Structure formats: structure tokens, C-alpha cells
Amino acid sequence: MKDHTVEVTRGSESPALRFADRFNVAVPFIDRHVAEGRGTKTAIRTLDGEEISYASLSDSVGRCGNALKAMGIEPDARVLMMVKDCPEFFYLFWGAIKAGVVPVPLNTLLRAKDYQYMIEDSQAAAVVYSPEFAAEVEPAVAAAAHKPTDVLLTHDLLERFGRFDPDLEPHPRTAEDDAFWLYSSGSTGFPKGAIHRQRDMVVTSEFYGVDTLGVREDDICFSAAKLFFAYGLGNAMTFPLWVGGTAVLAAPRPTPDMTFEVIETFKPTLYFGVPTLYAAQLAALDKARPDLSSIRWCVSAGEALPADIFRRWKERTGTVILDGIGSTEALHIFISNTPGDQHPGTSGRMVPCYEARIVGEDGKPVAEGEAGTLHIRGDSTARAYWNKPEKTTETMLAEGWLSTGDTYRQDDDGYYVYEGRADDMLKVGGIWTSPVEIEARLIEHPKVLEAAIVGRADDENLIKPEAWVVLKEDAAGEDQTALQAELHEHVKQGLAPYKYPRWWHFVDELPKTATGKIQRFKLRVSA
Ligand code: 3UK
């Protein structure tokens, strides 16, 4: 087989991939299109009016890889990316991979102390960021005990481009070698770097992208979920690049107005959102009448899509939302509704190439129809968490199984039904939120003695943080409305903006176990 190629065999039952012995994944995703005659085709369009062809993309990727090499960044070293959705994200991500460097896209909504942790944990060789995030990135770099060799803005990296050759020999890799990391939040609130291999993006693009969703060369993909999120990375980067389609990138925060404007302007054929946004868009559709007719399929992931939103969306727009569950560790969606088979209120069925089992507390498969923890197996799952051997053992099980930490059951027709998280983490707007982290921030306030955060469903049936607060004695008599405003501001100042509690309760004490652990499940039921 020719170097850096992959063969796809689609039998009647088990589609299979075969990789060349020497395989750098930047070649089939980027360079292949020029070789296949797609050089002049548009790979990326942006809200700012940029149009990037496949030939230009391939050149910029090569230049960027050469720039990293010239900076002295060695193969296997990590480059942290706090980069907004823009073409430079593609150049840096793929340039790094082509040069054998490991890109690590980070959530751009985080705060300095989160970035400091990630700089130290990853021992990053370089940090590249968009100017919009300077106020959080710069103090993080200054405070970090580990000093990256290079810290630079995306446009500084670009300025260096002119000086570099677009031709870059792909660093020799195999399909099994590491390619990139994505940080995922854990129940302690400490992020864990999930290590993904060269083959993983090929697996998700073929089996979810092409096989399940039906992505094709004439598709225009728009993802409201940003590229730093494994969901957005697949939707707006790997899927269109795999088939030679077009990605539409928009940096601003995804609101109903922004997403409707992008859809009307760029006429995407595939649209990817999260349940919270679909709910907000539905509310906005009471007044606005955007033309959404370009869309062939809508996709939802990140948290469960309430059946009611599915129905109202279909009624209003005439398009169908395909809900599917994915994770950072699996890279993309592994159980899904499909164009030919939708069951609202369920996550659907297995994506080809993945297997699932539902196990009880004893680790053994439950009886048919019973709920338990979902384990999955497939070729795109992260091989380990960086530097977290215990978390790796807990999550990446024997024989390739991955524990999702989600509680699932199969209904009578075999569709997978989501029943919630096994632990206390909450998903807010599709993003993992640790109750412990919000509690810790609340406790920093001089008037707060103790705090507990639980998830509570709002009117749209979407989860938001709810706070139970025990005040210090001298604050106990104060006006609760004023206190609430003060604490709200305090949380918003210290944490990513989506993490503030939407409901507040001031109580005399919190329910605790004998060993002093807060019993959050008791607060969840008493709301
Ligand atoms: C939850 C869902 C019910 C579930 C993701 C698509 O969300 C993604 O990755 P994360 O690592 O979170 C994973 C966890 O989120 N979840 C995701 N989708 C659904 N729960 N229904 C759903 N449809 O708890 C899961 O374990 O942030 C989603 C593609 C790639 C992704 N990384």
C-alpha cells in the first residue's frame, strides 16, 4: 500500500479500515485533495468573508509545520491552542500533526487558572492563542511553574509563514501513534488530557460522518459547537475535510441570531448544534423567519435532546434533528439516530464499528432492558489520559472497552435510552461542568460558609446549575435578593460564564454522609 493511505472495505456487516504501514493522518485529510484535483475547491469559508481553497490550505499547513520545526518544537512535543474558530486553527492543528508535533486544542471559555493547570500538566513546548483570549492566557503563562519555549499569537505565527516553505515531508507515523490530545473534565474538576491516535479521526469520519450521517463532497458543514470541542472538531473540520467538502467557520458566540445569519448567508447543508441552542433557536423562531431550507440534516449532541424539542423543531423548520451521543474519549458520536431511523427521546442505535455493553455495579452485563453503566468499544477511543494512570485504569478497561460513566438502558426495540450520569457532573449547554469547581468558587466569597451545586432541569428540560448555600453567621440576616446578585457576580468573575447558578437557596445546613461528603442526590430530589 502507498504510504499515508487508508483502504475502506464495506462488507455487508463489518466495514473495515486498512492503514498503510507508514501513516501520517495530515496527508489524507489535507494533501490528498490537491492530488485528487480539488486544489481550487473552497475548503473553508468564514464569517469575515475569507475563502480558503484546498491548495492554499495545504500550503499553509506545510508552512505552519515548518515554522514549528524552525522554532525548535520537537516531534511528540505539545502545542496548546487557545484559538477561535478561524482558518489558522486548521493550519496549526494539521501543521503540527504533519510535523509530528501534538496539537492540544483547549476550550477558549476557560480562565487563567485552568490554562495554568493545562500548561503545567502537558509540559507544553508552545502556546498559541487568538488575541481575544490574551487576558486569560497571559497571566496563566506568567504564573505557570512550567515555561513553554514559545508563547505567541496566531497572527505572529502567520507572519512567520511567508518565510517558510509550503513543502513539508510528513513526519513518519503509524496509524497507532499519538496524534493529538483533547482535555476532558473529570468529577474532581481536574481536566484530563485524552490521547488520540493518528487513526482516530479517520474512524469517526468514515463510520459516523460518511456511514451514519451521509456526509459527501458537496456538503457545506456549519457547527455551532466550536472546534475546540471534540464534537465541533469533527463537525466543522474532519468531516468536511475527509470528503473534500466545505466548512463554514464563525468565531462569535453561537446565539440564535448568529446561527440564523450564518445559515442564511452560507446555506449549509449540515447543521450541528446542542440542545440548549436548539431550544433558544426555537424561542427565537416565534419572531424571526430565517430561511433554513439549505439544511438537509440537523445534528444534536453534548446532552440528551428532549423529544419535545425534536418535535417542535420538525414542526417549525421541516428538518429533522439527529441526536447522538459522543464523548471526548471516543472522539465523536458512537450511538446515534440516523437519516433512515429516528426515535426521539433516545440516542438511537450503535454507529457501525462500535460495540456496547451495559453493566451493573458488579461489572457484569445487566439483564435485557435494565439500566447500568454504558461501556463502548471501537477504534477511535483514546488510548489513555496523559499522566493520570488511575483515571486511565478506571476508564480505559481491558480488551479495548471504554467506560462512559453514563447510565443507559435499551428499550424493547433496541434503542439506547440515556438515564443520566453515574456521578454528579452536570452538562450545561453541552459542556461538562463540575459542581465541585462552582462550589469552590462560592466558598471563596467572604459571606459563604458552605455550598453545594446540583443540576436542575429548566423549563426546556435542559440542565443548569442550582446552588444551595449556607451563609456565615453574620451574613445570615442579609437581604437574600442582594446576596444572590452579589454571589452571582462573584461566580461570573471567577469562572467560565456558563457556570453560574440559575437558582439559589439559602439553607441552615447541607445533607452530609457520616464521613462529611455532601449528599447531592438529596438536594436534587428536594428541588
Ligand atoms: C454526554 C450525551 C445524552 C454523556 C461529544 C459528540 O459531548 C461530547 O463529549 P464530552 O466529552 O461529553 C461526553 C458526555 O456528554 N452526552 C453527549 N452527548 C449526549 N448525553 N445524549 C447525548 N446525545 O454524558 C457523555 O458521556 O464533552 C459529543 C461528539 C463528540 C463529543 N466529544
Pairing state of beta strands 6-9 and 16-19? Answer: antiparallel
Q: Distance between CA 469 and CA 449 in Å, rounded? A: 8
Residue for cell digits 440534516? 297
Whether the pLDDT of residue 488 is over 50: the answer is yes
C-alpha cell at 354: 462500535
Q: Please, what is the angle between helix 87-98 and helix 54-70, to 10°?
A: 60
Q: Is 226 in the pocket of ligand 1 (CB under 6 A)?
A: no
pTM of the model: 0.88
Residues 182 and 193 sit within 8 Å (Cβ to Cβ)? yes
Pick the atom of ligand 1 nearest to 405's CA.
26
Summarised one tens digit per residue, pLDDT across range 368-424 is 998 889 999 999 999 999 999 999 999 999 999 999 988 899 999 999 998 877 777
Summarised one tens digit per residue, pLDDT across range 1-18 is 999 999 998 877 667 899
* Separation in Å, CA 521 to CA 236, 424, 432, 471: 37, 8, 18, 21
Closest by CA to 288, choosing from 263, 266, 322, 306, is 263
User: Residue 29 Cα, ligand 1 centroid: separation in angstroms?
Assistant: 24
Taking CA atoms only, the protein residue closest to ligand 1 atom 28 is 326
Summarised one tens digit per residue, pLDDT across range 84-121 is 999 999 999 999 999 999 999 999 999 999 999 999 99
Q: Is 347 in the pocket of ligand 1 (CB under 6 A)?
A: yes
Q: Is 184 in the pocket of ligand 1 (CB under 6 A)?
A: yes
Phi-psi region of 365 (alpha: psi -120 to 50; beta: other; left: phi over 0): beta
Taking CA atoms only, the protein residue closest to ligand 1 atom 13 is 327
User: Residue 78 Cα, ligand 1 centroid: separation in angstroms?
Assistant: 25
Taking CA atoms only, the protein residue closest to ligand 1 atom 9 is 327
